[in-house]
Structure 1
Amino acid sequence: MVKYIIKTQRGFENIVVNRLKDYVENFNYIVSPDGYHGVVIIESEEDIEDKILQIPEVERCLKVYFETEAEFEKIVNMAEKIKDYIQEGETFAVETKKRGKHDFNSIDVNIVLGAKIKDLTNASVDLERPDKVINVEIFKDKAYICITNKDRYKKYTKDKRNARELFKKVVIVQMPYLGEKIVCKRFGEAIGRAAQGFEVKELIIAPKEKVDAYELMEFIKGVKIGQHSRYEIQKRAYPFEISLVPVTVQDLYQVIRDKKRNNRLIIITDPKGEEISKIKDKLSYDLRKKKEIVVFCGSREGIPIGLFRFADYVIDLAPHMTFATEHAIPSALIALWSIYSGEKSSEDEE
């Protein structure tokens, strides 16, 4: 018999089983083993992995190679059997998912089992992009050992460029959204989330004239709420340290005076600007070479036209369309990343 651990979204377990019945006549199954949702254990007399993967509700299909009791010594001793599946020159990693109470934790299994496999095979451990992954799936009293090839859906890998290359140089200059206080706060939250989400170098709140202090206060309160909500998510989601983006307040015209210096690139987003596709080669070159990139975003009304003379680029991100205030930062930064991460311009290569 061949056994599989199927992972799916919570609530889709029975859909997976019913869909599989369209492809396979006879198989045994356990839905949500020991009450753990998002999992189905399938057992069949034949190898049906290809048929399982025809079901879009299936997110992962792990073929079980070995089973043992959920005791630490018995699990790590499985290294004697696992070693036969690691080829010379391959790299590997151990990933343990533990469900239930035990006198050991997942990290203990990863470290000790990994060390034993390494000793037995002389293979190298690669936690970022291994050739083989040893998945240890523990359900209360039972442990299943699965062996998979490298996962092409990894988030953080060396073969992906890090977008922070660009965004750590970006300063966002955002005109505040002012008016009804509850609306000011809502727009502030969206802008705070966006600035923190892209981890820009700095967010400058820049009114162009004397404004109502309490409206501005509500907007900045919103920025703080949005920023911190995103920051808490980042701390849980990222395997590396995250910092809060500095948020400052400065007069819009003074910002342009301060930033108009050598080795700074000033970009204004406005429907009156040029199409980004027509300037992408020169812009790509400048994005790579400049020390700091300053992006001005309007709010309700656009950036004053007098500032256009001081900009290196005035860019129309979507001709014949205007963006909502809360969309300006994500739209601008995604567009700039697309240019920055593409082919190097001919000027770059000179």
Structure 2
Amino acid sequence: MLLVKTLRGMEYIAADHIREKLGDVKLEIRPSGFLGLIIVHSDEIEKIKDIPEIETIIPIKIVCKADVDDIVSKAEEIVKVAGEFKSFAIRTKKRGKKHSFTSADINIRLGAKIKELTNAEVDLEFPEKAIYVEIIGDNAYIGVIEGKEERRKYTPEKVDSRKLLSKISLVQMPYLEDISAAKEMGEKIGRSAQAFEVKELVIAPFGYVNAYELEAFIRGVRRGQFSRLEIQKKAYAREVREVPVYVQDLYQTARDKRRKNNILIVTDPVGKQIKDVKDDLKRDLKYADEVVVFMGSRQGIPKGIFRLADYVIDLAPYITFATEHAIPASIIALISVYEEVEESTD
């Protein structure tokens, strides 16, 4: 038996394709009325793996009542099905509100029993075996997947980009044109800076600027940052860092940031391509205490700042970025370079 998960509304389309692959197979579409589910009465998982409407396939080996004691009583069968393993995780999905137990209840009790039987360690991040307990109506469907086959956002082989992001300071010239445009652009800048959780964002005008346009830009930054921050708090299981935002004169910022073990980067079309500076840049990104990235807006960074910069980089030759694209383009380019140096030192 297979438990197939799809996006909501895609169950019948997926079911048609499953029948094309498996023939006249028994299917339970939306069992107990739950969207995004199909129970396939077949074990031929390989034949349906390439159906794009299918999000996840769990091979079900045990079916029992949706009762904690009954589920825990199946621990020995689960261990037999799973084979040898040194670490495991219980993934429980409980649907409906009528049950007297929670997903956590199953995770704790079943996990404790399996640990007692195998002496294996619980590893929620990178287990050798992932044991799925899918509660659908009155039944519990239990299957085992190899940990390496799980689609996980964070895996050991991925470079943790936060190591670099935590030392990047963004120096952004404000977008000043009219109050409405300034506020709109500020929202985009604030959202981008918060999305990457960088060390800080410095809004850096120079000379005389319109106070009300600058005020609108800063209000926009705060609004964009706050909206992204709220999304991050819901999306991440970890604590989210709110990016500090400062205002300082552009030239003074360049002087202050030019310190030992800091590197200053200006993004500008007159600069060199990343491939021409990548070897030196990799080393500097790894060992720098702070990576300071200067970005223009309606007008570019003044050329005098270039003399204080360690790197002037053209991120996309023959292309001029829109102001709101400068932050993500710059950071993604730096992460790509940083990944190379981290992988070479593993």
Q: Give the TM-score, by structure 2 length.
A: 0.96
CA RMSD of aligned residues (A): 1.7
| Secondary structure of 1:96's aligned partner | strand
Aligned with 1:154 (options 127, 152, 155): 152
What amino acid is aligned across from residue 39 of structure 2 in structure 1? I
- Alignment of 1:51 onto 2:17: no
Q: Distance in 1 between matches of 2:73 and 2:215?
A: 62
Aligned counterpart, 2:91: 95
Misfit runs of 4+, over 4 Å: 343-346
2:28 touches 2:39 (CA, 8 Å); kept in 1? Answer: yes
2:159 touches 2:342 (CA, 8 Å); kept in 1? Answer: no
Aligned counterpart, 1:216: 214
Q: Distance in 1 between matches of 2:90 and 2:108?
A: 8
How is 1:20-99 mapped onto 2 (pairs within 5 angstroms)? 20-44=18-42, 47-99=43-95
Aligned with 2:302 (options 301, 304, 307): 304
Q: Distance in 2 between matches of 1:181 and 1:122?
A: 64
Aligned counterpart, 1:238: 236
Q: Distance in 2 between matches of 1:106 and 1:217?
A: 48
Aligned counterpart, 2:275: 277
Per-residue deviation, residues 13-52 of structure 1 (Å, max 9, x unmatched): 11101111221211111222222211111113xx221112
Q: Distance in 1 between matches of 2:245 and 2:33?
A: 46
* Range moving further from structure 2, 207-216 or 110-119: 207-216
1:285 touches 1:344 (CA, 8 Å); kept in 2? Answer: no
Per-residue deviation, residues 239-268 of structure 1 (Å, max 9, x unmatched): 211120000111111101111111110000
Aligned counterpart, 2:226: 228
| Secondary structure of 2:21's aligned partner | coil
2:29 touches 2:37 (CA, 8 Å); kept in 1? Answer: yes
Q: Distance in 2 between matches of 1:345 and 1:277?
A: 18
1:88 touches 1:123 (CA, 8 Å); kept in 2? Answer: no
* Range moving further from structure 2, 311-320 or 74-83: 74-83
Q: Distance in 1 between matches of 2:201 and 2:34?
A: 43
The structural deviation recorded for 1:86 is 3.6
* Range moving further from structure 2, 232-241 or 266-275: 232-241
**Unmatched 5+ stretches in structure 1:** none
Aligned counterpart, 1:111: 108
Q: Distance in 2 between matches of 1:332 and 1:182?
A: 26
* Range moving further from structure 2, 172-181 or 24-33: 24-33
* Range moving further from structure 2, 337-346 or 83-92: 337-346
The structural deviation recorded for 1:80 is 2.2
1:175 touches 1:298 (CA, 8 Å); kept in 2? Answer: yes
| Identity value in percent | 51
- Alignment of 1:129 onto 2:126: yes
- Alignment of 1:257 onto 2:278: no
The structural deviation recorded for 1:180 is 2.3
Q: Give the TM-score, by structure 1 length.
A: 0.94
**Unmatched 5+ stretches in structure 2:** none
Aligned counterpart, 1:190: 188
| Secondary structure of 1:166's aligned partner | helix
Per-residue deviation, residues 183-238 of structure 1 (Å, max 9, x unmatched): 21221111111111111000001112221122111111111111111111111111
The structural deviation recorded for 1:159 is 2.9
The structural deviation recorded for 1:344 is 6.5
The structural deviation recorded for 1:125 is 1.5
